[in-house]
Each structure stands twice: as structure tokens, then as C-alpha cells.
Chain A
Amino acid sequence: MKSNLALLIDFGSTYTKVSAVDLAKETVAACAEAPTTVDTDIMHGLNAALEEIYSQLGTKEAEFTYKLACSSAAGGLRIVAIGLIRDLTVEAAKQAALGAGARVLGVYAHELTIQEINEIEGAKPEIVLLAGGTDGGNKEVILHNARMLAESLISATIIVAGNKVVADDARQILVKAGKEVLVTENVLPELDKLNVIPARRLIRQVFLDKIVVAKGLNRAESFVERILMPTPAAVLNAAHLLAKGTKGEQGLGDILLLDIGGATTDVHSLAQGLPTKSGISLRGLPQPYAKRTVEGDLGMRVSAAALYETVPPGTLEGYSGASAERVQRYIEDISKDYRKIPQDEEEMRIETAMAVQCAQVAASRHAGTLEVVWTPFGASYVQHGKDLTETPYLIGTGGVIVNHPQPKEILQGAIFKDDDVTVLKPKDPTLLLDEKYILAAMGLLAEVEPELALRIMKNHLITL
């Protein structure tokens, strides 16, 4: 008998997280996780988690209306982004890749050199996103870069998303060299117009068609209907729905979402981010409404040592009250054993200090900045990036926040500071917690039942 249940699976890099949603009652009926087993057979880990789900549901006979999955296992979706000018098409290409849920292994500007080609070959990306030049703008650099890629050993799928005038020439060059090439619209067709959605869509298509198979994730596809997208894309999808709402169900409005993980800290903002005060002029690349940034040097386990290097000396010690020796030993311990959790109060304080720093630095890098310019008429202001000061909601997710006794303390790190008024972080947001870790799952459910997914999120995100 068909139940009213949807099964939503996230094949993470370390854990496979599964939740069963009751579609009639609009609640999360069961949640479970087990270590991901992509190296052997991905179904082993999934089956272990499913056992737990069945026992929580009290039945082995459950049939699911939907079985959907996302994945960041086996290194996630690995992309290299290439453009012309660092602040323009390079940034646009990077935004397209990040928004598609990719891990961006590197970004390259201007004409590629042999050394850079070697670097890209070594990084082994699955997709190379090749941009450069506005439509009708520079043609030489993208063609040069297409030739360099053509002569390389790179076997990645190459997506051309640059100057439309030469896009087909670039494709020809690459096709002749036996590369797999796809062409889509320019990520920056005009200097003041960002156009990342078509490239994002194509990246996701390549992920579905090729990468799922290459990583052995398709072995799960006899059980699930399909693996729909990379996990970060599912999270962004959920946040997008939560912010915008649907025809029948209102959204929350602008959102800043903080996801602190073991290796990276992801920040998503769903906001136009236009200046909130008068007399401020906007400079730089237009910002995508749904923007994701990823900080590879800010994380709680894999990147713990990098985090310690990134923050000013003494920061973690000062916040936690622990000695430098103690902090260093803890960082060493967790770097050796990612599964280690704090054992005493002092370690808990160090852990908290780390999380607060992840929140603070990642949110500061994500948010826009204000620059003061002195003019004959007094001070004038120039804004770069998004003004998030009036953003009404700040949502926390990720292990350290979800499992922390005082998640509020960590989220405070992402809030506007009076002694640093040029960083445009939210001033007085309502803090929400993704207590049941459902955002990725709801991003999947949103593909088939958006209104339901939205209501479940509204019910399950708890206000702090």
C-alpha cells in the first residue's frame, strides 16, 4: 500500500542522512544517519540508515510516494571557473558554479598559462566553466583559453558561458580536440547584468547525466527515483523557497543562512541587498539574489588548523579562556580524529570559540562593505556587495550549531558589530535554528511539493 510518506536522502561526504516526511500530517516522521559508503557500495550506508528509519516508523512495509536524494559524497561537484577580469567575468563564473552547489577548486583570470593548465590538470575538476568577455566584448582571451584547454589533458566537461559572438568558435576548438563541450548563455552578457541561471542549470544537468554515474552514486538509483542535485544546491533551493514563498503560501522574506561544516562554512543570502540608506552608491558586479559563498579555510574539523591560522593570534584563546597550548592540542586532536567531540567544559569552550569565528569571518566575507569617500559636500558612501543590515532572518544549520546547547551564541557571530560598521551584516535578525537538519531534504521535496516543503520548514525551524 502506498503510504503518505516521502523519503529524502542526503549522501554527505561523511554521513548519509535520511528523513521520512509524512505528507498528510506535514511533519518529519523519522530521521536517521549512517556513515556514507561510497567507496564500497553506497547502498550499504543507506540501508543502515533505512533500518533505523523503519524502526522509528514501526514498519518494514513502508512504501514511499517520493524517494529523492542529493549528494556531496566523493568530493562533491568539482569545478574550475575561468574568466577574463577577476572582479567581472571570473566572479560571475564563480557565482554560477557556487550557486549550482559546486566546490570551486580554483578560479583563473586573463590568458591561461602552461603552469595554470598544469594546475587545472592536477586538480582534476569534473567541470570547467569557461567564461570571458561580455556579449560583443573581448573575444581573444576566451579563444586563447579554449585553445589552451584543447591542448591540455583535461578530461572534464567544458561549459562555455562567455561572449556569445565567439562561443561557437570556442566550442569548435574544443570539439576538434575531442573534448566534451556544452554552450550556454554568457554569465555576464553586459557589464551591469549578471546572468548565472542558465549556467547553473547546465551544471546541474551535467551533474545528473555524468557525475552521478562517475561517482558510483547511480547504484542507489535503483532504490531512489533519482539523485537530483548536489547537497549545497538543495540547501540553497530550500532557502530560496523559504524566502520567496509560493503562490499559496507566503515566504519569510530576506534570509541569511549560515551552514558551518567540518571542512567549509557556507553562507547563503536570499536578498537583493540594495542600499538601505539614502545617498549610498553601488559599485562593482551586480549581486545574484540567491548568493552562496564557501569558505574553505573555515571549518570545525578538516579545516580546523586552517581556521586557527586564519583568525588573529590569540582569538580562540581570548574567547574560550583556554591556554594557547590547550587550544593547539585540541586543534591537533580533532585534526587527527574528525569524529572527536568535546570531552570537557574547556574543550567545549574552544569548540564554541571556533564556531563563533567561523560564523563571524564567513558572514563578514559574504556581506557587502561600505566605503567612506570624502567629497566637497561631506562624507559620501560607496557600497560593494550586498547590504544585509535589514535582513529579518538569520538561520543556523550544520552539526556544531544544531548540536550546541547555546546555538544563539554561535549565530551572534554573524551579526552586525558596532565597532565595525563598514561590514553590512544583519543588525537585528530573528534567529532560527534548523534543529532537525531538514533544509537539504526540504530543498529536494521542494522539487515536487513546494508548498508542503515550505510549510514543513516554517513549522520545524525553531525561533531562538
Chain B
Amino acid sequence: MGDKKITLVLGVIGADVHAVGNRILHYALTEAGFNVINIGVMASQEEFINAAIETNADCIMVSSLYGHGEIDCRGLREKTIEAGLTNIKLYVGGNLVVGKQNWEEVEKKFLDMGFDRVYPPGTMPQEAIDDLKEDFGLK
């Protein structure tokens, strides 16, 4: 990796309390050489953004497992812009919507909301790590 470690803000958004996946991601991302700021579960959009400002983060990684992802994530891109985080990458993954919905449509919905990468349930951490390396030119 380059001179500067890529800083990620990691957390589970909304009223979601799923902590295990968050721990696994934290471990995997740290092992892969990233500087991980883990704000834990039940984090609000403002907490993600404030943590990103404080740490001058390069990427915000949002997990959501309880099906409220769409409503919890809406407006996050707009708020990052207002906060001056104009170049920050936004990743999101998990059970983002309720029930079985067409993945292409779900992905498009989140891309339209301003996310750079959207992951379906069951994605392995390595996939996100590869994408991070590609997005930040570390490959």
C-alpha cells in the first residue's frame, strides 16, 4: 500500500443492533491494512459524518441488516456534501431492503442515492477489500 493509510469509518446504521458482522468487517479490513474507525451499531447518519470529518476519512462503510437500510441511508450523500466531504466514497451492504426484491433494482436505488458500491447479503469481506484497493488505486 501507499504512504498514507486509507481511513474508513465503519458502522451499522439506524436502530440496527447486529454487531457480529460489524466485528468481522472491522477485523478483516484492519488485517487488509486499512485504518478502521468503527463507530459500532445503532449509528446515525450524523455520527458517520462527524466521525469522517474528525478523522479525515476516505470512505464511509455502512452496514444494515434489519431491512430498514433504504430509509436509514436516504440523504446520507447530501449530508456528506454539506459537511464538506465532497470526495468521500460511500459503500453500503447487507439486507438493505425487505423481503426478496430484484437485486439489480435494489443496487440501482442505492447508486441513485449516491453510494459508490452496494453489496448484497452474503458478500465476503474480500470483495469489498478488492473494491477499496481498486477505488483508491492501491492495486
By the criterion CB–CB under 8 Å, are A382 and B71 in contact?
yes
By the criterion CB–CB under 8 Å, are A137 and B75 in contact?
no
Residue A89 at the B interface, CB < 8 A? yes
Chain A residues closer than 8 Å to B71, beta-carbon distance: 283, 371, 373, 382
Chain B residues with a Cβ closer than 8 Å to the other chain, count? 24
Q: Say yes or no: A283-B75 contact (C-beta < 8 A), given A191-B82, A373-B68.
A: yes
Chain A residues closer than 8 Å to B49, beta-carbon distance: 191
Secondary structure call for the B interface: loop
**Residue from B45, B46, B74, B84 in contact with A190 in the complex, judged by beta carbons closer than 8 Å:** B46
By the criterion CB–CB under 8 Å, are A138 and B81 in contact?
yes
**Residues in A194-209 with C-beta less than 8 Å from chain B:** none
Q: Cα distance A85–B81 when bound, in Å?
A: 8
Q: Cα distance A80–B35 when bound, in Å?
A: 44
By the criterion CB–CB under 8 Å, are A191 and B68 in contact?
no
By the criterion CB–CB under 8 Å, are A376 and B98 in contact?
yes
| A-contact 0/1 string along B32-67, CB 8 Å cutoff | 000000000000111001100100000000000011
Chain A residues closer than 8 Å to B74, beta-carbon distance: 283
By the criterion CB–CB under 8 Å, are A191 and B81 in contact?
no
By the criterion CB–CB under 8 Å, are A88 and B78 in contact?
yes
Residue A342 at the B interface, CB < 8 A? no
By the criterion CB–CB under 8 Å, are B82 and A375 in contact?
no
Chain B residues closer than 8 Å to A373, beta-carbon distance: 68, 70-71
Q: Who on chain B is nearest to A188 by CB? A: B82
Chain B residues closer than 8 Å to A191, beta-carbon distance: 45-46, 49-50, 79, 82-83
| B-contact 0/1 string along A150-168, CB 8 Å cutoff | 0000000000000100000
By the criterion CB–CB under 8 Å, are A374 and B98 in contact?
yes
By the criterion CB–CB under 8 Å, are A133 and B82 in contact?
yes
Q: Cα distance A190–B46 when bound, in Å?
A: 9
Residue A134 at the B interface, CB < 8 A? yes
Q: Cα distance A374–B82 when bound, in Å?
A: 29
Chain B residues closer than 8 Å to A41, beta-carbon distance: none
By the criterion CB–CB under 8 Å, are A138 and B84 in contact?
yes
By the criterion CB–CB under 8 Å, are B53 and A88 in contact?
no
Chain A residues closer than 8 Å to B15, beta-carbon distance: 281
By the criterion CB–CB under 8 Å, are A87 and B83 in contact?
no
Q: Cα distance A118–B83 when bound, in Å?
A: 28
Q: Cα distance A375–B45 when bound, in Å?
A: 20
By the criterion CB–CB under 8 Å, are A140 and B66 in contact?
no
Residue B86 at the A interface, CB < 8 A? yes
Q: Cα distance A137–B15 when bound, in Å?
A: 26
| B-contact 0/1 string along A420-455, CB 8 Å cutoff | 000000000000000000000000000000000000
Q: Cα distance A280–B84 when bound, in Å?
A: 30
Q: Cα distance A88–B83 when bound, in Å?
A: 10
Q: Give me 4 other A-B pairs in contact (C-beta within 8 A), A85-B79, A85-B81, A88-B78 excluded.
A: A85-B82, A136-B53, A136-B84, A373-B70
Interface residues of A (CB under 8 A from B): 84-85, 87-89, 132-134, 136-140, 163, 188, 190-192, 281, 283-284, 371, 373-376, 380, 382
Q: 17 pairs across A/B with beta carbons < 8 Å?
A: A85-B81, A87-B75, A89-B82, A136-B84, A137-B53, A138-B81, A138-B84, A138-B86, A140-B86, A190-B50, A191-B45, A281-B15, A283-B74, A284-B75, A373-B70, A376-B98, A380-B68
